[in-house]
Chain A
């Protein structure tokens, strides 16, 4: 019995174990094979299958950054980017498709209608506003990519897409639009290829406006839907900053219309109006004649596409007499009511000076010299200053120093060192010949007188607005005291007397006290050869004189006709009164200053 059981054990049980072991071994081998393959495929990726598959699924998308807008002081948009579409055709597809199906509502039911190619083209031509034959020619051919129409609006694009014309696709593009057109067109500037600035602020502020493009990388399935659990790398685009200017577009328009009318009336070459706030240096309007419409800058001549108020340096003429008077008063060598005996012509160092009007020997005050714009008297006053002093005073008033307001090609004017002045120039600089400056430089000099002798640098860019809406104010540049407060007041009185008692009576505005100075200078010919080609007529002034708030300068280059009959007074008056009204400036209080023009 014992043996039996022993035999049974050796005979039967081992076979089961062997079977088990065999099975287990087989399983393990299979597992090893499968596991090995799995490791090869998943772990080592032999043959790059996973990589290829991932590559197939991954889709990178460039996220374009939106170009910042340019706004005026009230937030009126002067430049912004909008979505536009290009209609593109795959000509091979369109040419070879004679009919195409389209889902249409027929008697209230959705039915698939077969549309012949010509009908599709006719409908598309209607939507795009093209001639049917032109469109047909554009759609026929072998090109795989042909632009049929550019920059169409989204609602038109919607209609185009609904037509389902074979081969026709629409591509989104960004387009720069300038809703106010030529109002501040030169200042805003324009782009050269739809992305890069070429003129004006669009050029100088390109880096700020542009922003940084972002990127998105994600996995997409064959059905065109994103795989939710797949790779998703997202680098957001950083939109460009908006630029807020100090301009007031309504006043800018008003000034542009005013100077354009004046230019047309007097057949001048060009004209400028600058309106500036004396309290903070903000430029409120900077008008040019024939300003470009940035939507289509090619319509105006290339020379008109800039901003002449900063680019054009010209000899300012008598407006410079204010600087001579201010420096003489500040140096203590003359007072507004000092007596000067002025002969009909005045000769010094062999140089003879005359005035624009004929007169006998007159007894004048300094106020009268400025009020009647007498070259003779100005030289008599100014020669009390040394040559270097004259140069330094011009320099102190910002002549030869370019204002930096962020526009291209800002002129610093021409002020040559005093030791290079010739015998006549050393006296002519006293009344604004032999020295050149831009309109904005003149405005800046008058601003320092209006602002109690403190010269503020003009500002055009008020702030940058970040994409998140926060505003970065552009800090004011350092100011400087040019003359004392007392001198500034005396010079203002002289300027006001020029309007109340002097020659510039047509600058007066009812209800407001105004101070102004005219300037008429001979304008050298553009070809650079000797000789003069007409005059530059200007008027600069400030109001209200009890607490000057605004500076307005009107410049007209080479008006036709007799220079003595020309006045910029009405233009100055209308722009100044419009400015005062726009900013709700209270009418002047106090008695207008009337300094006697003749000495007793």
Chain B
């Protein structure tokens, strides 16, 4: 009810003024009655847009939650996938590093050099370029000199012998990762070199010719 309506409401007129109930001593107590009035109804609001808006907000909120959820969980999947990728790369890196270290070991380096026909020099000389002084008597290394004791190559489990005794193949050949073996062929588009047909072996050698070393079976 608007204020204007209340104000315009005629509460009482002087002529018809009725004595107020409590002010008439002796008069029987009568229940007072709320004066009647015409209640002007508030103009009806249109509800439809509000409801539509509510549903709209609800739908948008639901969609947002859904999208958020999907993105969070897909990010989780991505995270897992990237973690797996990282660990694979770490492992690969570690494996390759180990191979390098294996080839780098002084024993293996010396053995490889000997295999290639290199001989350690015994007599060395020095030339001082500033004074052009030559000191020491350099002697050419002679093949067949006693090479001295052989220090055993490091026995790192799973590493190839740098200097293979029986096979003439490059030791790294059978070290290609499993996935790379089939993929390696198309990357080299050499005009169909005569492929040596190796009879199908029952043992998968992963591109090499020497079977992998036997692994110890615990409890055997």
Query: In chain B, residues 175-220, which have Cβ atoms closer than 8 Å to a Cβ of chain A?
Result: 177-179, 203-204, 211-220
Smallest CB gap from B212: residue in A: A129
Query: Are A134 and B155 in touch, CB under 8 angstroms?
Result: no
Q: Is B33 an interface residue (CB 8 A)?
A: yes
Query: Are A147 and B218 in touch, CB under 8 angstroms?
Result: yes
Q: Is A152 an interface residue (CB 8 A)?
A: yes
Query: Are B128 and A586 in touch, CB under 8 angstroms?
Result: yes
Q: Is B98 an interface residue (CB 8 A)?
A: yes
Cβ contacts under 8 Å, A378 to chain B = none
Query: In chain A, residues 131-180, which have Cβ atoms closer than 8 Å to a Cβ of chain B?
Result: 131, 134-135, 138, 146-156, 158-159, 162, 175, 177-180
Question: Which of A9, A138, A151, A179 is within 8 Å of B102, CB to CB?
Answer: A179
Give the distance in Å from the alpha carbon of A293 to the alpha carbon of B155 in the complex.
7
Report how many residues on chain B are interfacial, defined by Cβ distance under 8 Å.
60
Cβ contacts under 8 Å, B203 to chain A = 126
Give the distance in Å from the alpha carbon of A152 to the alpha carbon of B110 in the complex.
28
Smallest CB gap from A153: residue in B: B158
Question: Which of B36, B92, B101, B215 is within 8 Å of A130, CB to CB?
Answer: B215
Cβ contacts under 8 Å, B146 to chain A = 261
Query: Are A510 and B137 in touch, CB under 8 angstroms?
Result: yes
Query: Are B215 and A129 in touch, CB under 8 angstroms?
Result: yes
Query: Are B94 and A178 in touch, CB under 8 angstroms?
Result: no
Query: Are A295 and B151 in touch, CB under 8 angstroms?
Result: no
Q: Is A577 an interface residue (CB 8 A)?
A: yes
Question: Which of B90, B102, B107 is within 8 Å of A183, CB to CB?
Answer: B107
Tell me the smallest distance from the CB of A372 to a CB of chain B, in Å: 27
Stretch at the interface among A51-59, A250-258, A494-502: A250-258
Query: Are A180 and B76 in touch, CB under 8 angstroms?
Result: no
Cβ contacts under 8 Å, B107 to chain A = 180-183, 253
Give the distance in Å from the alpha carbon of A80 to the alpha carbon of B218 in the complex.
25
Cβ contacts under 8 Å, B98 to chain A = 82, 177, 179
Tell me the smallest distance from the CB of B74 to a CB of chain A, in Å: 10
Smallest CB gap from B133: residue in A: A587
Cβ contacts under 8 Å, A2 to chain B = 33
Q: Is A226 an interface residue (CB 8 A)?
A: yes
Q: Is B114 an interface residue (CB 8 A)?
A: no
Query: Are A179 and B148 in touch, CB under 8 angstroms?
Result: no
Interface residues on A, range: 35 or more
**Given contacts A2-B33, A181-B156, A295-B154, are A511 and B126 in contact (CB under 8 A)?**
yes
Q: Is A76 an interface residue (CB 8 A)?
A: yes
Query: In chain A, residues 175-212, which have Cβ atoms closer than 8 Å to a Cβ of chain B?
Result: 175, 177-183
Give the distance in Å from the alpha carbon of A225 to the alpha carbon of B157 in the complex.
36
Q: Is B47 an interface residue (CB 8 A)?
A: no
**Given contacts A177-B156, A179-B156, A587-B126, are A257 and B94 in contact (CB under 8 A)?**
no
Q: Is B135 an interface residue (CB 8 A)?
A: yes
Smallest CB gap from B204: residue in A: A126
Cβ contacts under 8 Å, B211 to chain A = 129
Cβ contacts under 8 Å, A228 to chain B = 72, 76
Q: Is B26 an interface residue (CB 8 A)?
A: no
Q: Is A581 an interface residue (CB 8 A)?
A: yes
Give the distance in Å from the alpha carbon of A259 to the alpha carbon of B143 in the complex.
22
Query: In chain B, residues 60-106, which have Cβ atoms closer than 8 Å to a Cβ of chain A?
Result: 72-73, 76-77, 80, 88, 90-92, 94-95, 98, 101-102, 104-106
Q: Is B34 an interface residue (CB 8 A)?
A: yes
Query: Are B215 and A261 in touch, CB under 8 angstroms?
Result: no
**Given contacts A155-B178, A253-B107, are A511 and B136 in contact (CB under 8 A)?**
yes
* Residue of B88, B150, B217 with most chain A CB atoms under a 10 A cut-off: B217
Query: Are B135 and A511 in touch, CB under 8 angstroms?
Result: yes
Question: Which of B94, B104, B150, B217 is within 8 Å of A82, CB to CB?
Answer: B94
**Given contacts A126-B204, A260-B148, are A587 and B156 in contact (CB under 8 A)?**
no
Query: Are B106 and A180 in touch, CB under 8 angstroms?
Result: yes
Query: In chain A, residues 224-259, which have Cβ atoms closer than 8 Å to a Cβ of chain B?
Result: 225-226, 228, 249-250, 252-254, 256-258
Q: Is A6 an interface residue (CB 8 A)?
A: yes
Give the distance in Å from the alpha carbon of A539 to the alpha carbon of B19 in the complex.
141
Cβ contacts under 8 Å, A509 to chain B = 136
Q: Is A595 an interface residue (CB 8 A)?
A: no
Give the distance in Å from the alpha carbon of A424 to the alpha carbon of B217 in the complex.
62
Tell me the smallest distance from the CB of A545 to a CB of chain B, in Å: 14
Query: Are B33 and A6 in touch, CB under 8 angstroms?
Result: yes
Query: In chain B, residues 24-42, which have Cβ atoms closer than 8 Å to a Cβ of chain A?
Result: 31, 33-34, 36
Give the distance in Å from the alpha carbon of A152 to the alpha carbon of B133 in the complex.
57
Cβ contacts under 8 Å, B128 to chain A = 586-587
Cβ contacts under 8 Å, B76 to chain A = 225-226, 228
Q: Is B144 an interface residue (CB 8 A)?
A: no
Query: Are B151 and A260 in touch, CB under 8 angstroms?
Result: yes
Cβ contacts under 8 Å, A263 to chain B = 149
Tell me the smallest distance from the CB of B185 to a CB of chain A, in Å: 16
Smallest CB gap from A154: residue in B: B91
Q: Is B119 an interface residue (CB 8 A)?
A: no
Query: In chain B, residues 104-153, which have Cβ atoms closer than 8 Å to a Cβ of chain A?
Result: 104-107, 110, 122-126, 128, 133, 135-137, 146, 148-153
Query: Are A127 and B204 in touch, CB under 8 angstroms?
Result: yes
Tell me the smallest distance from the CB of B111 to a CB of chain A, in Å: 12
Cβ contacts under 8 Å, B124 to chain A = 577, 581
* 27 A-B pairs (CB sep. < 8 Å): A5-B36, A9-B33, A83-B90, A130-B217, A134-B217, A138-B219, A138-B220, A150-B215, A150-B218, A151-B158, A155-B91, A155-B95, A177-B156, A179-B105, A179-B156, A180-B154, A181-B151, A181-B154, A181-B156, A182-B154, A250-B106, A252-B106, A254-B106, A257-B149, A261-B146, A511-B125, A587-B135
List residues of chain B with CB under 8 Å of any chain A CB: 31, 33-34, 36, 72-73, 76-77, 80, 88, 90-92, 94-95, 98, 101-102, 104-107, 110, 122-126, 128, 133, 135-137, 146, 148-158, 177-179, 203-204, 211-220
* Pairs A-B, 3 closest by C-beta atoms: A181-B154, A511-B135, A510-B136
